Structure 1
Amino acid sequence: MTFPIWMYVVVAGIFFSAFMTVKTSKAERKAEMDYIEQEGQVYIQRMEKEKDLKMKN
């Protein structure tokens, strides 16, 4: 059984779209985790500064 060439192109496009969705999702998740970690470090530094100020007073 043979299929028209456009059907192969459509199926290839579906697989490519799925691949790019997974790849983009993984990259976004990593970027989000990096941002969260950076914000956490800022929060920890601020808490340490406040702790030092309380200790000095």
Structure 2
Amino acid sequence: MIFGPVLWMTDLGLVVAGLIWLVRGGDGTSSQRKASGAQSELDMRFARGEIDS
């Protein structure tokens, strides 16, 4: 009797965690790739003298 609500809360937590994982893009590598691409772009523009420090 007491384990019923605990199991429902666990199931609900897993569903919410799965939805968050899907919305954020799975494993998160796409956001890491964008960040490194942006950093390399800034490095190149700094090297060409287009921006100052």
TM range (shorter): 0.3 to 0.5
Of Structure 1 and Structure 2, which has the larger fraction of its residues in helix?
A: 1
* Higher RCO structure, 1 or 2 (CA under 8 Å, sep 6+): 2
TM-score (norm 2): 0.46
TM-score (norm 1): 0.44
